[in-house]
Chains A and B, each alone.
Chain A
């Protein structure tokens, strides 16, 4: 017990811990923000996992071919977008079940990226860290938030932009309505499935950034198991966040913390079974979904396909 309390104390006073929480959380926040928009429009987009993985691979390819972090980022976004194009058009144009499509894409992405990675074996240009003057000198959290790779800073404009997009634009109003009451939106003369596809594309772009951030921002190489379920955790963050953006970002940071704990505890000299520790973020995600799945008010038409006509 004392050892446990000591471990918590060590963790909370370690600036390394804050740094790695932010690093892990950032990946989740990028993806969860996109996922939040997709879910607002009514898609429980489980292929967010495949979008991140594909994005992280294409980012590696981009930076390898172009010898540039920027090209890597653009390729990452295109990779995420590619997966979202398949997901969106299969489920919201051809009428396939969104979960079946998502599941298939997730499995496909693992196999395909592993194969191509072995074939091409790209070397990655890593993005450098940029210390933001003054802000990065804030004790404990300064370095964590403002002494990171510049890719992470994309989060700072992305979050308010996503909020503005959903709550302050006509597109956002339509997206929210589509997720709540597609029939009503249809009779108002809006193309329901088009809005749903677009929101999935948005998720694809965000997840692509998440993948690029992972490869070029953090790791510096593509790892076939680099994503390993973090897309699903981003999805859990939207649920835990009760389908609000604030809640989603908060939940993603909490999950990031547990992710970081895996590495921080051994580093700070505490011995915990590493296999058990590795399951921590996933066990947390499952537990929170169990506890909070019905707490937030989810979009009424979430997961329900829309077909025009007799009802």
Chain B
């Protein structure tokens, strides 16, 4: 099951598992029409789902999680034995006594798989199973899937927006777009470019799509090889060019910043980074090396213990709420639901939230001005919503991100900090976001792109800085990027 974010894949699967009730239509399981009222009914029908998140209780141990929802009496020894048996049968290596909160994303997923297989389901649904996995873990997951299908005759529905794993792991493909099935085909006859096109509904620039191509090395290469050759010439170079940007004034100068977390751990350690006007600086790094702290710092969410932040030549008291925003630093936060937008307000309200002066007088909002402003921005940024008054919650991830982008860019910032701007977005939305960032740079905004997607950093940046353990450990210009050295820097090795 392939489709962009917001295409309706997860909703369809939630209907199958009884979490959402359909308003119309029918479901047949083994030829019989059924009504799936709740997850218990689904389980009785032999349907089980490995969820994207939400299905393990962190404070419990593995075996407690596995038996959760069973009707029988609690029997620790027996439950542990069954976990070990399943773990061995599928080569999953799961310890029944481990606490779930201490497991990695990959291990948690294996626990979920055990929990799911223990009920001997005949139909297993995997919802975006590789979004949190490393390439090796994804490879292992697919080998388990093959066993389940070929040796044990179970049916597997794999939901994904990653073309490579759909091509790699499935027999048949159904493509969804905007809540409808738009295509069904046999995997043998499918090509990456064709799938991408029917998924988005139009031809896509495959260079920006690279970030959406996932994790499995060999597949990524074969998929990537063809499109890269026919990408539009020079579309990925920002027109100002790296050397031109260096002559522009410095708009953001972060000097020797140290931020200490609540547990006394140094999140940023004497970190310095500069961004010129019209330049895209990519901050590459493995997740958890201080990216979040830097984003929080530049949003005035945390105060540094030492160092200074200079915006457009003026030193700013970074820890004072709103100080950096007032100085002209726009931010696309890492977690858009948490700090990027207010899900329960309308699209229009979200769009004007950062700059209410324009649409209010003496503290009273002018509804008409607000609506006009919202419609103007929705047009300019191609935001698809029923109306300006539609709740933010009802928008797809890509459209929510456009709202955040529109709000930040419409305030005409000097600096735009984009933290993981394309995380969780689909091909079309990634393409759009990349194009918008390039355009903003052309207009003279200094852009700091914080991303764990190396592909994205390399595609967009004029200059790449590498962060490791809260420090900048290396820097290279776009024209002398050495992938080997970059790899070592990312891994924390001096090079």
A interface list, Cβ under 8 A from B: 168-170, 173-174, 176-177, 180-181, 183-190, 297, 300, 308-311
Q: Residue of B at shortest CB range from A186?
A: B39
Q: Give chain B interface residues in 56-77, CB to chain A under 8 Å.
A: 56-60, 64-65, 67-70, 72-74
Q: Measured between alpha carbons, how far is A311 from B53 in the docked complex, in Å? A: 11
Task: Give B44's nearest chain A residue, CB to CB.
Answer: A189
- Produce 1/0 per residue, B96-135, CB < 8 A to A: 0000000000000000000100000000000000000000
Closest to A168 in B: B74
Q: With A177-B60, A311-B54 given, is the CB distance from A188 to B39 under 8 Å?
A: yes
Cα distance A177–B69 in the bound complex, in angstroms: 10
Q: Report the minimal beta-carbon distance from A63 to chain B, rounded to whole angstroms.
A: 39
Known: A173-B74, A177-B60. A188 touches B38 (CB 8 A): no
Chain B contact patch, size range: 20 to 34
B residues near A (Cβ < 8 Å) are: 11, 14, 17, 19-20, 38-40, 43, 49, 51, 54-60, 64-65, 67-70, 72-74, 115
B159 to chain A, nearest CB (A): 15
Q: Give the Cβ gap from B61 to chain A, nearest Cβ, in Å.
A: 10
A173 to B79, CA, bound (A): 14
Contacts of B38 in A (CB 8 A): 189
Contact residue among A181, A185, A189 (Cβ-Cβ distance under 8 Å from B43): A189
Q: Do B74 and A170 touch (CB < 8 A)?
A: yes
The smallest C-beta distance from B264 to any residue of chain A, in angstroms, reads 17
A183–B55 alpha-carbon span in the complex (Å): 7
Number of cross-chain contacts by CB at 8 Å: 71
Give chain A residues whose Cβ lies under 8 Å from the Cβ of B43. 189
Q: Is there an interface contact between B19 and A186, defined as CB atoms closer than 8 Å?
A: yes
Contact A173 B64 (CB under 8 A): yes
B65 contact set on A, CB distance < 8 A: 184
Contact A184 B74 (CB under 8 A): no
Q: Select B60's contact among A176, A187, A311, beta carbons within 8 Å.
A: A176
The chain B residue sitting closest to A310, CB to CB, is B20
Within 8 Å CB of B73, what residues of A? 170
Q: How far is the CB of B331 from chain A (nearest CB, A)?
A: 25
Contact B69 A180 (CB under 8 A): no
Contact (Cβ within 8 A) A187 B59: no
Bound state CA distance, A176 and B64, in angstroms? 11
Contact partner of A308 (CB less than 8 A), chosen from B19, B67, B70, B72, is: B19
CA distance A194 to B417 in the complex (A): 46
Q: Which residue of chain B is the closest to A301 with respect to CB atoms?
A: B57
Cα–Cα distance between A168 and B6 once the two chains are bound (Å): 42
Considering the chains assembled together, what is the distance between the CA atoms of A183 and B51 in angstroms?
A: 11
List 11 A-B pairs, Cβ < 8 Å: A170-B74, A173-B64, A176-B59, A177-B64, A180-B58, A184-B56, A184-B57, A185-B68, A187-B49, A187-B51, A189-B43
- Residues of A near B11 (CB, < 8 A) are 310
**Cα A161 to Cα B49 with chains together (Å):** 36
Chain A residues with CB below 8 A from B59, complex form: 176, 180-181, 297, 300
Q: Which residues of A contact B51 (CB under 8 A)?
A: 187
B57 touches A169 (CB 8 A): no
Q: Is the CB of A181 within 8 A of B39?
A: no
With both beta carbons as reference points, the residue of chain B lying nearest to A297 in the complex is identified as: B59
| The residue from B40, B54, B115 contacting A181, defined by CB atoms under 8 A apart | B54
CA distance A181 to B101 in the complex (A): 12
Most buried by B among A183, A184, A187, A308: A187
> Given A187-B39, A190-B68, A181 and B56 touching (CB < 8 A)?
yes
Q: Give the complex CA separation of A67 and B20 in angstroms.
A: 54
Q: Which of A184, A300, A308 contacts B55 (CB 8 A)?
A: A184
Q: Which residue of A lies closest to B20 (CB)?
A: A309
9 extra A-B contacts, CB within 8 A, seeds A184-B68, A187-B55:
A170-B74, A173-B67, A181-B59, A184-B55, A187-B54, A188-B68, A189-B43, A300-B58, A310-B14
| Complex Cα spacing A311 to B11, Å | 11
Query: Could you tell me the distance between the alpha carbons of A300 and B74 in the complex, rounded to whole angstroms?
Result: 23
Bound Cα distance A186, B69 (Å) = 9
Contact B40 A189 (CB under 8 A): yes
Contact at B64–A187, with CB atoms within 8 Å? no
Complex CA gap A168/B74 in Å reads: 7
